[in-house]
């Protein structure tokens, strides 16, 4: 495939709450920060260039969070892309903090979420955030209280659309009683299918599903991936992304990278179509791994 044919447009579109339509292959901006998702990147110019190239390649959905860096990923997005192209959707998150390298602490209290969104608006240089996601339910805070706060912020005009992350179906149903939910972001890949039932639920209810960590692991998975990749003269990452795109029309993968080469490779998956038997074989990896 020539460089000109590499475009996120090939993945088709997915709707966010019937309000915004984005190409179904986005970009995850977590890996642009320093090691351990902490501090500035080693190569700031390189990180800015990767973000700009992602948009050139048709990406119009970028995922980030206040905790990536913390603050660093959002600042890089603004540095690279502000003033933003009209169709660019930035989805950020709050409620899960990063007090040090590789460390996470919960705070999805109403007070914290209100403060967090002000910080994200400032760093992203926006008056309103298109998609704001609760990063993870906080075990020490009522889930309803966290979601109600996002609903209030939406009524105040600071958030356009609300999403959830790291949730069960029960969480989604409880949240939808308070505010429309346009997206759910959970860990998911062809070899990591704990949230299959959530994907199906999202498909039935027109909610976008944003899988993170799209390249599944494990020996059986790697063998099958490599074989399918060879048959298409593609890479295993491209096959893993193509499986996700084929899994459901509401799937919106956000592969993340700090490397220009990996970015182009990942976007190159947008137009890869797997044969039915390849799709089925990859889907069965989970059963094979259990059996043996
Ligand atoms: N909601 C949540 O709790 C949550 C959790 C984790 C992530 N996320 C979001 O999901 C996005 C993706 O998740 P992720 O970063 O964990 O997983 P990922 O996209 O699968 O990336 C994982 C690693 O794969 C490498 N990589 C990327 N493309 C590659 C390629 N073509 N070939 C070989 N290696 C490649 C990257 O390193 P290089 O930089 O070297 O390419 C990166 O370190 C994140 O950016 C973030 O926005 C959300």
Q: How far is the CA of 88 from the centre of ligand 1 (A)?
A: 20
First-residue to last-residue Cα distance in the chain: 37
Q: How far is the CA of 179 from the centre of ligand 1 (A)?
A: 29
* Atom nearest to 29 CA in ligand 1: 45
8 A C-beta contact, residue 55 and residue 85: yes
Residue nearest to atom 16 of ligand 1 (CA): 213
pLDDT per residue as tens, the chain (292 positions): 454 579 999 999 999 999 999 999 999 999 999 999 999 999 999 999 999 999 999 999 999 999 999 999 999 999 999 999 999 999 999 999 999 998 999 999 999 999 999 999 999 999 999 999 999 999 999 999 999 999 999 999 999 999 999 999 999 999 999 999 999 999 999 999 999 999 999 999 999 999 999 876 667 788 899 999 999 999 999 999 999 999 999 999 999 999 999 999 999 999 999 999 999 999 998 877 666 6
- Ligand 1: centre distance to CA 165 (Å): 16
Question: Which residue's alpha carbon is nearest to atom 18 within ligand 1?
Answer: 213
CA of 264 to the centre of ligand 1 (A): 14
The ligand 1 atom nearest the CA atom of 215: 20
Kindly tell me the burial class for residue 105, based on how many C-beta atoms sit within 10 Å of its own C-beta (0-12, 13-18, 19 or more). exposed
CA separation for the pair 249, 24 (Å, rounded): 8
Report residues whose beta carbon is within 6 angstroms of any ligand 1 atom.
28-31, 63, 165-166, 185, 212-215, 237, 254-259, 262, 265-266
Contact 243, 274 (CB under 8 A): yes
Which residue owns the Cα nearest ligand 1 atom 6?
Answer: 212
Report the pLDDT value the prediction gives residue 47, as an integer from 0 to 100: 98
CB 28 within 8 A of CB 255: yes
What's the 266 CA to ligand 1 centre distance in angstroms?
11
Q: Give the model's pLDDT for residue 5.
A: 72
To test the pocket of ligand 1, the residue of 30, 74, 191 to mutate (highest count of ligand atoms within 8 Å of its CB) is: 30
Pairing mode, if any, of strands 89-94 and 96-97? unpaired
What are the catalytic residues?
68
Instruction: Give CA–CA dist 22/24, Å, rounded.
Output: 6
Atom 15 of ligand 1, nearest CA residue: 256
- CB burial readout 27-55, b (16+ within 10 A) else e: bbbbbbbeeebbeebeeeeebbebbebbb
Atom of ligand 1 nearest to the CA of 265: 31
């Amino acid at each position: 495939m020539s460089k000109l044919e590499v475009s996120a447009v090939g993945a088709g579109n997915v709707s966010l709450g019937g309000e915004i339509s984005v190409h179904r292959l986005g970009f995850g901006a977590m890996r642009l920060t320093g090691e351990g998702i902490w501090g500035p990147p080693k190569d700031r110019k390189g990180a800015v260039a990767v973000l700009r190239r992602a948009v050139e390649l048709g990406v119009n959905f970028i995922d980030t969070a206040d905790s990536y860096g913390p603050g660093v990923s959002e600042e890089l997005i603004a540095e690279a892309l502000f003033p933003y192209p009209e169709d660019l959707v930035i989805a950020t998150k709050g409620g899960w903090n990063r007090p040090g390298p590789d460390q996470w602490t919960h705070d999805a209290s109403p007070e914290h979420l209100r403060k967090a969104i002000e910080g994200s608006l400032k760093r992203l240089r926006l008056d309103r955030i298109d998609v704001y996601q609760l990063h993870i339910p906080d075990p020490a805070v009522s889930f309803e209280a966290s979601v109600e706060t996002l609903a209030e912020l939406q009524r105040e005009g600071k958030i356009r659309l609300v999403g959830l992350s790291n949730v069960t179906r029960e969480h989604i149903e409880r949240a939808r009683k308070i505010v429309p939910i346009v997206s759910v972001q959970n860990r998911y890949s062809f070899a990591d299918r704990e949230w299959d039932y959530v994907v199906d639920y999202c498909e039935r209810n027109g909610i976008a599903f944003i899988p993170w960590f799209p390249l599944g692991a494990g020996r059986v998975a790697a063998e099958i991936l490599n074989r399918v990749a060879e048959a298409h003269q593609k890479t295993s990452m491209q096959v893993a992304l193509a499986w996700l795109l084929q899994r459901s029309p509401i799937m919106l993968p956000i592969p993340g990278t700090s490397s220009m080469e990996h970015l182009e490779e990942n976007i190159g998956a947008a137009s890869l179509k797997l044969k039915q038997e390849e799709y089925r074989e990859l889907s069965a990896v989970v059963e094979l791994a259990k059996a043996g």
